[in-house]
Structure 1
Amino acid sequence: MPPKTTVPPDPPAASMLEFSQFSKLLAMLYEGPLEDIPWSRSLEAIRTCLHANYVTLILRSPASGRNGLMIHASAQGTVLPGEASYHNYYFALDPFVNLPTDRIITVDELVGDSHWRSSEMYKQFHQPFDVGYMMGADLRTEDGVECRLRICRSHQGANFSDAEKAACGALLPHLKRAVRLHSSFDIANSERKLYVNAFDRMLVGTVMLDESGSVMQTNPLADEIFAANDGMRRRGSALELKYQTEDRKFQKLVRQALAERASNASSVVHAVAVSRPSGKPRLGVLIRSIPLSEWPEDTLRRPACAIFVRDPSRKSLASHELVGKLFGFTPAESSLALALTNGLTLEEAGEELGISKNTARAHLRAIYSKTGVTRQATLVGSILNSAFSLG
């Protein structure tokens, strides 16, 4: 008897998708978190492949007092006319929720075709938008991220076949991983924005250089300082100081920081003071290398050196209200305290605020009493070292 031949299993969803199609869909799913509208390309590809009229990925489910976050693929684009009404009302009537985790299921399998088509949700929302058939899945990642995939087909079509359900089911594990990546990116981006905003509020200009010493990124304050061309400027992808002696020292410190990065040495903070032709107080500049991550890719376009620039002549952006809440100042006392913090003398602050010397002194006595200090320099230091600059 000849040996029994073992037939290798078909590729995932081979009965529905060619291997090349499946491969392209996977690529789009994993690239989805990097798109301006996440997963817009892959959702449109799924819609086309399944002859659907709508494909929706719900990243945040709507609830009372909170809109959901949905990404759509349809003939109308990524925003649907019925989305607002779903957020505001119909989400509470939707029977196609709380699906079995990580498994494709159709609406008729979940609640029964007759029950669904007799529901108010179908009559008032699905039918007017030509949703004749629907399948979907609820995904939950290991770190607690939840999302929903919904695929709809017109009344003119047919219900989703087992092969189509199997094709979507084969995509689910990859979509789940891509959603988890997106969540990680989103958290990191939120943290980055928080820190960037804190630096902006502290009046610190920031510059990121790559491994060749070229400027990769600057914040708005750094751009303003460089545009003023008062001691320091940006020229193309390089930074330059006005005076040659200071510039040579600055360039040497940048090269030193980049060398520390390349050798994976401990990061050392280098400092240089920058003279200004205008006669204003010198800019303070700190330079430090950015340590490599544990598993870095081989690319020059990676932040390698950070430069922090502080202009002591710039006035604080902190609000009077915030200073008042932190120290218990009245509005008048807050105004005076901020004026002193910005470098004015008591007499100059009184003139700027339009108050007499006696009134300014009375406010200052009250400020001293509330902060527990007796000297103006100590008061300024106490305010600058408090949390007010982060607001």
Structure 2
Amino acid sequence: MMSGEIVTDHDVLTPEQIRSDPMYNEVLYPFGFQWFAGVGFWAESAAWALTLQRTGREGSFEARDKRLLARLAPRLTETATLATAVGRVALTSMTNVLNQVQQPALVLNRRGMVLSTNAAADAGFDDDIRISNRRLMVRDKSALAKLDQLVDLIRSTPDSHALPAAPIPVRRTAKPPVVIRVLPIDGAARNVFLGARAMLTLSNLLPRPGPDPGLIAEAFDLTPAESRLAALLASGMSIDGVAERLRISRETVRNHLRSVFSKTGIHRQSELISLVSQLI
């Protein structure tokens, strides 16, 4: 249907077809309805139709009714387009907030198709995790099966119901695994015309930033040399790698490390990595 177009039973079916059509006999008649009219309108570039039902006693929609309904179409288009625009702004605000903290996120509509992504997600997509034909695709077969289950759940669950979806770990070929979590869409972003149904966050999609030596020094009262050492070890570098990077001897590295242990109250390199990682 085009915007402003009014369609009734008589426009698409003959009386004989109406009498034999399963839609009337199995759906409308049992609930007391007999006649319908559809009003075409737009929500941005998407075509919609508002259908109205009448009982047999009320009678079918006639030419006068169609003229009155045609006056309703522009108002429906204005309302639907405004609701879509407001929802899109609300949705963009949600994903942009996550983008500010480098949290990749994307939004799925009620058909499970990707509606939008933020810049952090776009920067992290690769051959292991990508968008193809508006679908989120992953190379990990186990994770892909769980994503398919999530899409089935989105399609079959009413918009007003929460999605009981567990986090989905995604293994990657040469990078750390990603964890996909499902968040609800609320407020203005959740409207029938926009169709946003769920927000997915992708933890660990992007490389984590290394710890800030200045922050480490301030937090644990370390010298600049000690804080640089702690930052490099926390980023996964070995003792030999630290020595080479800082151009100091292995023994000097160990002396700095003992001093760091003393000041932080820990005794193992693994404990240091865990402690510093809390500052990232």
Note whether the superposition's TM-score is higher than 0.5. Answer: yes
**Contact kept in structure 2, 1:216 and 1:303, CA below 8 Å:** no
Task: Provide the residue aligned with 1:329 in structure 2.
Answer: 222
RMSD: 3.3
Shift of 1:381: 1.3
Q: Note if contact 1:232-1:274 (Cα within 8 Å) is conserved in structure 2.
A: no
8 Å contact 1:258–1:289 — kept in the other structure? no
What is the match of residue 283 of structure 1? 177
CA offset digits 1:69-98 (Å, max 9, x no partner):
xxxxxxxxxxxxxxxxxxxxxxxxxxxxxx
Q: Secondary structure at the match of 1:240?
A: strand
Aligned position for 2:48: none
For residue 197 of structure 1, the aligned residue among 82, 91, 100 is 100
- Partner SS state of residue 249, structure 1: helix
Q: Structure 2: how far apart are the matches of 1:192 and 1:207?
A: 7
Please give the residue correspondences for 1:1-391 in structure 2 after superposition, counting only pairs within 5 Å.
Answer: 195-198=98-101, 200=102, 204-226=103-125, 228-229=126-127, 231-256=128-153, 262=159, 264-265=161-162, 267-276=164-173, 280-293=174-187, 296-302=190-196, 304-311=198-205, 314-385=207-278, 388-389=279-280
Q: Is the 8 A contact 1:272 1:286 kept in 2?
A: yes
* Distance change in 2, residues 1:291/1:297 (3 Å): closer
- Quick one: higher RCO (CA 8 Å, sep 6+), 1 or 2? 2
SS of structure 2 residue aligned to 1:299: coil
Q: What is the CA–CA distance in structure 1 between the aligned matches of 2:158 and 2:246, rounded to whole Å?
A: 49
Q: Is the 8 A contact 2:190 2:197 kept in 1?
A: no
TM-score in terms of structure 2 length: 0.56
SS state at 1:304 partner = strand
Query: Under a length normalisation based on structure 1, what TM-score does the superposition of the two structures give?
Result: 0.42
Q: Which digits, 9 at most, give the CA deviation of each residue in 1:106-129, with x for residues without a partner?
A: xxxxxxxxxxxxxxxxxxxxxxxx
Gaps of 5+ in 2: 1-88
Pair 1:370–1:311, CA change in 2 (3 A): farther
- Partner Cα distance (2:162, 2:139) in 1: 30
Q: Retained in 2: the 8 A contact 1:271–1:285?
A: yes
The AA in structure 1 aligned to 2:172 is: S
Return the alpha-carbon distance in structure 2 between the equivalents of residues 194 and 265 of structure 1.
22
Q: CA deviation at 1:357?
A: 0.8
How many Å apart are 1:240 and its aligned residue? 0.8
Deviations 1:53-78 (A, max 9, x none): xxxxxxxxxxxxxxxxxxxxxxxxxx
2:33 corresponds in structure 1 to none
The percentage of aligned residue pairs carrying the same residue is 24
Alignment gaps of 5+ in structure 1 = 1-184
Distance in 2 (alpha carbons) for counterparts of 1:257 and 1:338: 43
For 1:242 and 1:288, locate their aligned partners in 2 and report how far apart those are by CA, in whole Å. 19
User: Which letter maps to 2:99?
Assistant: V
Give the CA deviation at 1:302.
2.5
**8 Å CA contact retained: 1:205, 1:219:** yes
- Following TM superposition, by how much is the alpha carbon of 1:243 offset from its aligned partner in structure 2, in angstroms? 4.0
Aligned residues: 191
- Determine the C-alpha separation between the residues in 2 that align with 1:383 and 1:259: 44
State the secondary structure of the residue aligned to 2:196: coil
Task: State the AA in 2 paired with 1:298.
Answer: V
Query: What is the rounded CA distance, in whole Å, between the counterparts of 1:351 and 1:307 in structure 2?
Result: 37
Contact 1:289–1:305 at 8 Å: present in 2 too?
yes
